[in-house]
Structure 1
Amino acid sequence: MNKYILIFTLPFVMLACAGETSQHTHEEEHPVQATGDSLVHLTHAQVGQGNIGFGQFTVEEISDLLTANGSLVIHPENMAQVTAFTDGIVEYIAPVLNKNVSKGQSLVRIRKPDLLDMQEQYLSLKSQLPFLRSEFERYKLLKEKNATAVKNFEKAEAEYNAASANLKVLAAKLQQFGIDAETLSPEKLVSSIALKAPISGTVTAIDASLGASVQPGDVLMDVVNLASLHADLWIYEKDLPLVKTGQPVQLSFPSVPGQKVQGEIYSLDRRLDEEKRAVRAHVRLTDSGDGNFVEGAFIQGDIQLGESATSPTLPEGAVAREGDEEFIFYKMKEDAEGMAFVKVPVKVIATKNGMAAVKLLENIPEGAQIVVRGAYYISAHSAMAGMEHEH
């Protein structure tokens, strides 16, 4: 739906309480007298009791808005899981729930006893390799001099090549567990492996406990880059011509009344959702406030569609309502007996921060003193006078 938003540009003329400033105050109340449907008479005492105050229109800017609903989302590339890639026993969990972590930071340690066997195999094979290479070189030289059987050379060559290949495979396996084979020594054997943060972000869930047995593929933590949080608003097909990138958006949260966040449309999907008959508008948060947001939270966005236009505005308390009708009052005259007010129909086209942009449906005198406080009090007396007049 389209609505309007106010952008205040001129100061409001401060109202004055007529009941306090009038020089004609009577202690006794007199019945309200109405001459016609739009004229209301109040005594000075009634004006004081109603705390009637006056002011004038201010000129404000208004902008046409399109309201759309959606939610806060995070793109898949900004979400990651810390997953076990081998079996083992959890021996350490970093206390990082709901805290920020950096990419590569150690979050979980898993004890894997057979990891020692793998390191032992690597070191043993590494120590044998110089001898196997020496034998290979010796038989190669003897073969060139026809001093040994070819099969002896081939055996030495096969043993050396097999050992070299196995050593590379073991080194690659150790590298997967975070062990640098080049620096491995009997004094630096490890029995546990560290699972590290795949991205920088906030740990939003921990699904592991100390002493638990894990298997390859088990998810132990969720890490989310909340800085990439943005809003997705659904724009219906009929409204698509109105929306474009770069338009400002004010986001609000139905679950948190009063909380407002500023944003800007940075992208529009090129594919229509067949079920919703709508397209997603992606909104970057330009002013995230306290930033205490939750992925998936329902939001409402007011998209500013075009240039601002000026409109007369009054405090919301200046507008009274009777059914579907809206109207204001202005003071027509004042004498020793009281004040006369004229009721003028209006249409409220926008409200914000206690102010209302109104469209006058009838003309009023230039510089008229508008009732900006106590309009409902006058309206109530007008209704009472109308009923008395009918009887």
Structure 2
Amino acid sequence: MKVRKTRVLIIAAFLFLGIALLQLAACDSVNKNGQGDGATEAKKDEKHDEHAHEGEERDEQTHEGEERDEQTHEGEERDEQTHEGEEHDEQTHEGEGAGHEGGVRLTDGELKEFDIGLAVAGPGELNVYVTLPGEVSVNQDMMAHIVPRVSGVVREVYKSLGDNVKRGEVIAVIESRELSDVKAEYLATHERISLAQANYTREARLWKEKVSSEQDYLNAKKELAEEKIALRSAEQKLHALGYSEKYLKKLLGRHNVTFTRYEIIAPFSGTVIKKHITLGEALQADSGMFVIADLSTVWVNLSIYQKDLPFVRKGASVLIIAGHGIPEYSGVISYIRPIVGEQTRTALARAVLSNEKGELRPGLFVTGKVNVKSLSVPILVPKTALQTYEGKTIVFIKTDEGFKPSEVTIGRSSDTSVELTSGLLENQEYVTKGAFTLKAELSKGEFESGHSH
């Protein structure tokens, strides 16, 4: 019984111990599980905190990005404002430069003051010239060497060097015994004719009446014929000295006239260019007294070089340039000397020019531009119309906004004119003279525009 109780107690003890061990094991398991769950939760919390922190960092980065975006946007706005400012400046500059983009405006009074010349664009003849040196000389066809025609002594001189004379004007007087002899011969012959005529008439009547011989009649007829010949000879001598038929008729009725007075008459209107006489000087019949030239026309003698001989032709137009304020003259080649000078090796071409104002003085050196070729071009302008602006060749065209510069392209050219292949249309009005003034106004406007910035 005791043994059974002891066994029961031992079993109960083992059971109690087993239960205790089981509870202890269960507690350990629970603790482990609790710790594991806590660690998991802690880990979860840590991870959550990390995620939250990362989120906050992302939020901060996002915020910083937004700030950067805002700054970038502000920078862009500032750039846009700057760009708008630059555009505004450009617009302002363009507005200020509208004076040359839209045109240079000038009033009618300013056009006249600045001597602005206008023309309408159109076709023309482009002339090719050969330039030749030359000299103005007296027109030899309108120059006279005055001689007395009879010997004598100078008694009066009315004209001096450089004086103008008129046709028929007395320029000097000489006293000539030779002239007196010629006049006396004329008057004596005239009287002898009257006597011979009367004698012939009488002899002819007596011969018909058979009173006188035929020989007397023939002698009277011969004498009359000889006196008529002598009279004609005396008349011709006086005509050769410049006396007219009207004067000879007056001479027959003037018995107290001075036979020795001989008046020197100007043969045409002109200028005394040489004078060789003085009072009291004894002259021979061929002595030079004056040289008178009509300077209303002059010769221009041009020297043609051998290389230019094939191109210069009679009838070609020529432009004579003397310079020094003397205007240009136009003429025609009227003569080309067929012989080349031995010393100069040049030929001579001559043009006769009108010189009513006396600006072309004999002895002046000139330049002749002979037109040797003409070309028809669609748009021809004078070189004075061209200007260089900002490295471009321009002409100023008249528009409703003013005078506007237009870039042009140059084709063929001569010394005075140029062909335009682009930039100027037919019938457009453009500036031919005074373009430099418009260019100055254009540059002035740009300078003031740049200075204001």
Q: Same fold (TM over 0.5)?
A: yes
- 1:66 equivalent to 2:133? Answer no
The CA distance in 2 between the partners of 1:269 and 1:95, in whole Å, is: 37
User: Paired residue for 2:333?
Assistant: 266
Deviations for 1:341-384, whole angstroms, at most 9, x for unmatched residues?
xxxxxxxx9998xxx99xxxxxxxxxxxxxx88xxxxxxxxxxx
Go from structure 1 to structure 2 and tell me whether the alpha carbon gap of 1:271 and 1:114 turns closer, same or farther (over 3 Å shift).
closer
Match of 2:307 in 1: 238
Shift of 1:121: 4.5
Per-residue deviation, 1:86: 0.8
Q: In the alignment, is the contact (CA less than 8 A) between 1:116 and 1:189 conserved in 2?
A: no
Residues 64-73 or 215-224, more deviating: 64-73
Whether 1:92 aligns to 2:156 is yes
1:360 equivalent in structure 2? none
Q: Is 1:146 the counterpart of 2:214 in the alignment?
A: no
Cα displacement (A) at 1:118 = 4.3
**Structure-1 residue corresponding to 2:324:** 257
Mapping 1:4-23, distance limit 5 Å: none
In structure 2, C-alpha distance between the alignment counterparts of 1:132 and 1:272, rounded to whole Å: 60
Q: Name the stretch that deviates more: 133-142 or 119-128.
A: 119-128
Match of 1:112 among 173, 176, 179: 176
- Partner of 1:259, secondary structure, is coil
Q: Which residue matches 1:227?
A: 296
Structure 1 residue 317 displacement after superposition: 11
Whole-Å Cα distance in 2 between the matches of residues 213 and 196 of structure 1? 18
Whole-angstrom CA distance in 2 between matches of 1:128 and 1:284: 53
C-alpha RMSD of the superposition? 4.7
Question: Following the alignment from structure 1 to structure 2, what is the Cα–Cα distance between the partners of residues 197 and 68?
Answer: 36
Which structure has greater strand proportion? 1
Measured in 2, the distance between the counterparts of 1:258 and 1:163 equals: 66
Once the two structures are TM-superposed, the CA of residue 148 in structure 1 deviates from its matched residue by 2.9
Q: Is the 8 A contact 1:88 1:111 kept in 2?
A: yes
Say which is worse superposed, 295-304 or 219-228, in terms of deviation: 295-304
Separation in 2, partners of 1:308, 1:213: 66
User: Are residues 1:199 and 2:272 paired?
Assistant: no
Identity of aligned residues (%): 20
Are 2:340 and 1:281 aligned? no
TM-score calculated relative to the size of structure 1: 0.56
Pick the aligned partner of 1:77 from 141, 146, 152.
141
Task: Tell me the amino acid that sits aligned with residue 266 of structure 1.
Answer: I
- 1:166 equivalent in structure 2: 230
**Partner residue, 2:34:** none
Aligned to 2:428: none
CA contact under 8 A between 2:272 and 2:293: conserved in structure 1? yes
1:303-342 matches, within 5 Å, as: 303-304=370-371, 305-307=373-375
**What pairs with 1:172-187 in structure 2 (closer than 5 Å)?**
172-177=236-241, 178=243, 180-183=247-250, 184-187=252-255
Shift of 1:328: 5.7
SS of the aligned residue for 1:257 comes to coil
- The unaligned stretches of length 5 or more in structure 2 are 1-92, 98-120, 394-412, 420-438, 441-453
Do the aligned partners of 1:261 and 1:289 also contact (CA within 8 Å) in 2?
A: no
Select the structure that is richer in helix.
2
> How much has 1:217 moved relative to structure 2?
0.5
Q: How far apart, CA to CA, are the structure 2 residues paired with 1:94 and 1:238?
A: 51
Q: Rg: which structure is higher?
A: 2
Cα deviation for residue 90 of structure 1 reads 1.5
What amino acid is the match of 2:263?
Answer: A
Q: In structure 2, what is the Cα distance between the partners aligned to 1:263 and 1:64?
A: 15
Structure 1 regions of 5+ residues with no counterpart?
1-17, 23-58, 320-326, 331-348, 358-371, 374-391
Contact 1:139/1:156, CA 8 A, preserved across alignment: yes
